Structure 1
Amino acid sequence: MRLTRMFAVSMAILALLVGAMLGRILWGEWNSYRAARGGLHALQLVQQGMVAAEKLSFERGPMNAVLGDAVPPDPAKRARLAVARAASDQALDSLAAALAASQDQSATVTSIRAQLIAARREVDAVSALPPAQRTPQRLTAAVEGMFALIPVVLDDVTGYAGAAEQAYPNLAKILMKARFAVELREYAGRLGSRLTVALASGQPLAETEHTQIQFLRGQIEQLRHLIVMSTSAIDRDPRVLAALRTMDERYFTSGLALVTGVERDSRAHQPYGMDTAQFAQRYVPFMSPILAVRDVLLEAALDQARQDYDTAQRELLLACLTGGAIVLAMMLLMVILQKRVMVPLARTTRALVKLGNGDFSIRVHETRRHDEIGDLLRAVGQLRAAGLEKQQLEQERQRLIEELRLRADTDYLTGILNRRAFTAAGNQRLRRAREHRLALAVILFDVDRFKAVNDSHGHDAGDQVLIRIAALAREQLRDGEILARYGGEEFVIMPGNCDLEGARVVAERMRRAIEAAPLTLANGHVLHVTASFGVAASEGPHLALDSLFHAADLALYRAKHQGRNRVECEAA
């Protein structure tokens, strides 16, 4: 696997692992936040449920006053009952709205409303009767109808409290004590309501009613003990301690004393000195400190829940920010590694491969980086520079070798092949002619009266003559014909694939060209130069270069002795 692919796969795996880890963390924080939010809402439902229970309990006070009202009824008492009922309805509406906001499909509020309407209808029916027809049974049934509402509401409160405790386990004891305070308020209200029949009828309490009152006193005392008992840090809260002191002073001293006075008058068969309305006006305010205890406990629970909710919200936000920072850092790291490591490394690898293959055309950019990649790039640049220098040296070496070879094969004066180079080239052509059974010809010629030129005009003039003869010969030759200086003023030509007649034609053309080109010396003297030619040709398996040269030499000798400036042929 190539390094770039391995890097991509590694980064993908790393991204998946980091994403999975961050997802797990964020999911946990989201669940904690959602649980805290749900718990806070459940706690708010607890508070509203408790308020609804308290309002329904409070409604029994004005209700008792109306049940004990004379004929004609007192409008003030009816007005107080209407206000209490409106408060109860509003509390139930608030609870229903909170449940709807949480998409709770519970039908409890609807059921409570139905029971409440039935209980109120019974109360209104009894209160509409003349006092003589308000029998203890009808009064008790009306009161019991209102009593039956509270357990239903408190059952819902218990459910909301359970949901809140799941989110905030540390609030369990606080919520439990708040529930105890609500129950204490309910039992205190029931204790006062147990006196309604006796106060409304002016009759002593029945023995069963005394028994129920004692039972309620026991329940009230037990609930007080559970509330006052220290079980958590909330019990040392100054607000709670102050509320408990007020509750003891107001209800457990003055409120219960009022109930005791009614009981005492009942046992003594003495007038009560008050009706149900007067009793409610005096007794209900003594229960307010109980509600204060509930409110203090709920406020403390809500404060703690809000703190926990804010903490969960901050931790979720922090987790999101941290996760985002990690993702951004990882992406930045990938980009940096890709841009500053992988891309330069890939380019450097390609450069090294080309350099290894001898290709120095690749361009290596200069870098100012002072890290390992920068060192690598500079090293590659130095390697390329060294390779280019070596390549240039090698080219120079080859040029020098070629120049030396050329000088070894070239006549230094005329620039054409020398005798050694001609012999090598001639042997190659000889082998080819033998293989293909082709004719091979040789033309020898030299400058006529060359010694006289040297003697009369100097060796420089002789050199000019030789140079001019070589130039004329090159101009007359075609591709495939070999020209060389054979020695002194003597030259040799080997035409390509040419028989004796063809070689003679070439020689004659060369002779006329030399004759027709006089040479003007540096001193202005004009020399008319001629040359004599000896031509030889042969073919067959016994073809030999020495035989050709020998025959051509004989023909050249004959041309010299027959008057010069002519072409003679000889079969080899």
Structure 2
Amino acid sequence: MKLTRLFAVSIAVLALLSSAMLGRIVLTEWNNYGAAADGLRILQLVQKSMLAAEKLSFERGPVNGMLGDALPHQALRLQRLAAARGASDRALAELQDAVGAGPAPSAAALAALQRVRQALAAARQTVDRLAALPQEQRAPAELTATVEQMFALVPIIMETVNEFSRSSQQRYPQFSVILQNARFAVELREYAGRLGSQLTAALVARRPLDEAAQRRIQFIEGRIEQLRELIKLPTNNVATDPRLLAALRAMEQRYFGDGLALVAGMVEASRAGRPYLMDTGQFAERYVPTMAPILRVRDVLLEASLEQAQQAYHTARRQLLLACATGALTLLVLAVLALIVRRRVIRPLLWATRALVNLSNGDLASEVRGTRRRDEVGDLLRALVALRAGALDKRRLEQERQQLMEELRRSADTDYLTGILNRRAFTAAGQQRMRGAQENDLSLAVILFDIDHFKSVNDCHGHDAGDQVLIRVAALVRHELRDGEILARYGGEEFVVMPAYCDLNAARVVAERLRRAIEAEPLPLVDGHILRITASFGVAAASGERAALDGLFHAADLALYRAKHLGRNRVEG
């Protein structure tokens, strides 16, 4: 058995014996921690379930707007309906993912979600069919049935809310009142939506409410008032929470003030036989925002429950960590003793072994640690450090030599002033491209250009200004060129460009683009003067096996001469 394995087995046996004494404590705290985590997760599922119910309720507002909208439908209302449907789908998908992600997914909750999806798809199909009819063909009975079909979705999703609420109350009995009031808030939001939807058929048909609708409105208003009082019941220590008090005040002002007043005004207009002065979409745009404070009440109650559950979760986690820390502290003495042996004997031998293997394989990247020990192991490690340092020096010298050679090669190929290719490098690259053109029967073009009146720049502004012109023109042309197009300084103020394989017309297009770019770019000098630079271009192209680079250069040079002779700042070829 190797020394390292023998040492590991001995330490493992001692650690096992010591850990057995602490296992029961840690296991107990772990169970408590797991229960707290499950409780927190269930509360989060309650929150997601209520959010899904909210989105389904909210979708009814855009639906009512569409059912009351004449054809063609307004684009804004179509967008609102699509956004509401998307929000409902996302909320249901997130809830389903959260339910299915747990260690023991609820079959009842998943079944309820499946029923909701099926019922939602059927309801949306009905809405789309009815909204596609002309407004006068939408019978009130069909409108009422469609609205009721949308209403039927929320009770199904509330099954998951109730199931998760019961599970949460089993783990956190102190949350029962808070969760109950949160459910009341969800139910209040639902009945508030139902109240507004009772006006849909009358608004679409532009006629007074029938007796059945008025009775339903009276019943819903009674239930809303009942839920209003239930929500105000004390909720343990949350009753004095400033967030809840502010949310209740906002609910009283916005919904029980503005929202119910709006509904009452519509009912009064119906009884008096007056026109409603708005359609279903306009009513929803005014009425739906007044229900937002109800959801804020729900959110505050859920936030309070989650905060307390998170506190219980963190407490359980701290207890678990404390138990683990106690066990770790108990094992610390054993670890310290093992560390001394490992550090003084085992590890130095392992380091030395690995270092020798790496050096023998030519691996110099692995570090060889030095030491100040005055024993045999120390001598061995210092010898390994010296051996690695010598090998690294040798490798570094080789790398510096290669780097120097690469720099010399780049210097030989690069124009010292402009940083682009020089004539020699361009000729080598051109010959290679010419061979490719001959082998593949492709056209190859060369563009020669030089800066117009460059001598006058040197004479009037000095050679430094001339250098600035050359540098700027090289940078500008290099920026304008595309992949596969080669640029070089041919000599003096003369430059050469070799586009990718192309014919004469395509090369003239490239040259014209470069000419315009140079002409359009002003060049500010150090002394404050602004120069306007132009250039003359000569273009030549050839193809076939007889094409030669020297011939291309000669033809392009003749074309450049013609460009200068014809007045400069032009392209000839």
Q: Deviations over 1:505-547 (max 9, x none)?
A: xxxxxxxxxxxxxxxxxxxxxxxxxxxxxxxxxxxxxxxxxxx
Q: 2-side partners of 1:127 and 1:32: how far apart?
A: 55
| Match of residue 228 from structure 1 | 232
Amino acid in the other structure paired with 2:251: M
C-alpha contact (below 8 Å) 1:174/1:297 kept by paired residues: yes
Q: Deviations over 1:148-182 (max 9, x none)?
A: 11011111011112222222222222211111111
| Match of residue 59 from structure 1 | 59
Alignment of 1:339-358 (within 5 A): none
Amino acid in the other structure paired with 1:114: Q
C-alpha contact (below 8 Å) 2:185/2:298 kept by paired residues: yes
Look up the SS of the partner of 1:107 in the other structure.
helix
Q: Give how far 1:81 is off.
A: 0.5
**Residue 301, structure 1, aligned to residue 301, structure 2:** no
**Residue 281, structure 1, aligned to residue 300, structure 2:** no
Of 251, 255, 264, the match for 1:251: 255
Structure of greater Rg:
1
Identity among equivalent positions (%) equals: 55
Amino acid in the other structure paired with 2:87: A
Q: 1-side partners of 2:334 and 2:236: how far apart?
A: 47
| Match of residue 76 from structure 2 | 76
Q: Deviations over 1:247-282 (max 9, x none)?
A: 000000110011111111111122111110111011
| Match of residue 121 from structure 1 | 125
For the aligned residues, what is the CA RMSD? 2.4
Consecutive unaligned residues in structure 2, runs of 5 or more: 1-15, 337-573
**Residue 214, structure 1, aligned to residue 211, structure 2:** no
Change (3 A) 1:315 1:151: same
**Residue 101, structure 1, aligned to residue 101, structure 2:** yes
| Match of residue 31 from structure 1 | 31
Q: Give how far 1:88 is off.
A: 0.7
Q: Deviations over 1:50-75 (max 9, x none)?
A: 11111110000010000011122222
Amino acid in the other structure paired with 1:207: E
Q: 2-side partners of 1:278 and 1:99: how far apart?
A: 37
Between the two proteins, the alignment pairs up a number of residues equal to 319
C-alpha contact (below 8 Å) 1:181/1:223 kept by paired residues: yes
Q: 2-side partners of 1:315 and 1:330: how far apart?
A: 24
Q: TM-score, normalised by structure 1?
A: 0.53
| Match of residue 442 from structure 1 | none
C-alpha contact (below 8 Å) 2:179/2:305 kept by paired residues: yes
Alignment of 1:86-485 (within 5 A): 86-103=86-103, 104=105, 105=107, 106-325=110-329
C-alpha contact (below 8 Å) 2:112/2:159 kept by paired residues: no
Of stretches 60-69 and 25-34 in structure 1, the one that deviates more from structure 2 is: 25-34
Amino acid in the other structure paired with 1:172: S
Amino acid in the other structure paired with 1:77: R
Q: 2-side partners of 1:331 and 1:59: how far apart?
A: 62
Amino acid in the other structure paired with 2:122: A
Q: TM-score, normalised by structure 2?
A: 0.53
Q: 2-side partners of 1:239 and 1:212: how far apart?
A: 34
Q: Give how far 1:327 is off.
A: 6.8
Q: 1-side partners of 2:331 and 2:177: how far apart?
A: 42
C-alpha contact (below 8 Å) 1:33/1:312 kept by paired residues: yes
| Match of residue 48 from structure 1 | 48
Change (3 A) 1:24 1:129: same
Amino acid in the other structure paired with 2:284: A
Q: 1-side partners of 2:180 and 2:27: how far apart?
A: 31
Look up the SS of the partner of 2:73 in the other structure.
coil
Q: 1-side partners of 2:202 and 2:36: how far apart?
A: 50
Q: 2-side partners of 1:55 and 1:221: how far apart?
A: 23
C-alpha contact (below 8 Å) 1:36/1:168 kept by paired residues: no
Q: 2-side partners of 1:311 and 1:203: how far apart?
A: 61
Q: Deviations over 1:192-244 (max 9, x none)?
A: 01111111111211111111111111111111111112231101001100010
Q: Give how far 1:326 is off.
A: 5.2
| Match of residue 447 from structure 1 | none
Q: 1-side partners of 2:261 and 2:274: how far apart?
A: 17
Q: Give how far 1:324 is off.
A: 4.5
Q: Give how far 1:331 is off.
A: 12
| Match of residue 368 from structure 2 | none
Q: 2-side partners of 1:298 and 1:70: how far apart?
A: 41
Q: 2-side partners of 1:17 and 1:259: how far apart?
A: 73
Q: Give how far 1:111 is off.
A: 2.1
C-alpha contact (below 8 Å) 2:19/2:327 kept by paired residues: no
C-alpha contact (below 8 Å) 1:59/1:81 kept by paired residues: yes
Q: Deviations over 1:371-403 (max 9, x none)?
A: xxxxxxxxxxxxxxxxxxxxxxxxxxxxxxxxx
C-alpha contact (below 8 Å) 2:57/2:154 kept by paired residues: yes
Consecutive unaligned residues in structure 1, runs of 5 or more: 1-14, 333-572
Q: Deviations over 1:109-145 (max 9, x none)?
A: 2221111100000011111112222112211111111
Q: 1-side partners of 2:138 and 2:70: how far apart?
A: 11
Q: Give how far 1:330 is off.
A: 11
Q: Deviations over 1:378-436 (max 9, x none)?
A: xxxxxxxxxxxxxxxxxxxxxxxxxxxxxxxxxxxxxxxxxxxxxxxxxxxxxxxxxxx
Amino acid in the other structure paired with 1:150: V
Q: 1-side partners of 2:19 and 2:281: how far apart?
A: 72
Alignment of 1:497-536 (within 5 A): none
Q: Give how far 1:296 is off.
A: 1.3
C-alpha contact (below 8 Å) 2:178/2:235 kept by paired residues: no
Amino acid in the other structure paired with 1:127: A
Amino acid in the other structure paired with 2:49: G
Q: 2-side partners of 1:102 and 1:17: how far apart?
A: 34
